[in-house]
Structure 1
Amino acid sequence: MLGNLKPFEIVLILLVIVLLFGAKKLPDVARSLGKSARILKSEAKAMKNDGAAPAEPAAQEQTAPRTIQAAPGDTASARPVGEPDRTTTQG
């Protein structure tokens, strides 16, 4: 789709985006999109790791609770990750 656009059309689209959102809000929009992408990536990775069974559960060391941070150094949006409850038995 983008291969068919000419340079003038791309500049025109970017100009419309700047006019709609305003030059002052664009960095905030880009920052929030980056945070959302990092959160999505970390959640997808956590879901993928939850499906894999560990080779030896006794060999794992207990460390501090894991947290997911939206951005490096951003502790305001950090939240603890709950570990699954493995006390139930299947039968």
Structure 2
Amino acid sequence: MIGGIGMPELIIILVIVLIIFGAGKLPEIGAGLGKGIRNFKKATTDTVEESNEKTEKIEENK
């Protein structure tokens, strides 16, 4: 279970999405979600790396 959402709930959500957007739009929606998640992960990773670099510079100056 993902955050209290089981398989029946996921199937209902998928059916609703199919009804609203149609089967032709699903690949576009999936690609957009994938790009958004990828960008979010990259941004968080970059922020952590920048923070680590700043910490290393501060420790070097001590």
The TM-score normalised by the length of structure 2 is: 0.66
Coordinate RMSD, CA, aligned: 2.4
Summarize the Cα distance change of 1:51–1:24 in structure 2 as closer, same or farther, 3 Å threshold: same
Amino-acid identity (%): 30
Q: Which runs of 5+ in 2 are unaligned?
A: 58-62
Q: Which has the higher strand share?
A: 1
Determine which structure has greater relative contact order: mean sequence separation of CA pairs < 8 Å that are 6+ residues apart, divided by chain length: 1
Q: Which has the higher helix share?
A: 2
Please say which structure displays the higher CA radius of gyration.
Answer: 1
The TM-score normalised by the length of structure 1 is: 0.48
Distance in 2 between residues matched to 1:24 and 1:43, nearest whole Å? 30
* Number of aligned residues: 53
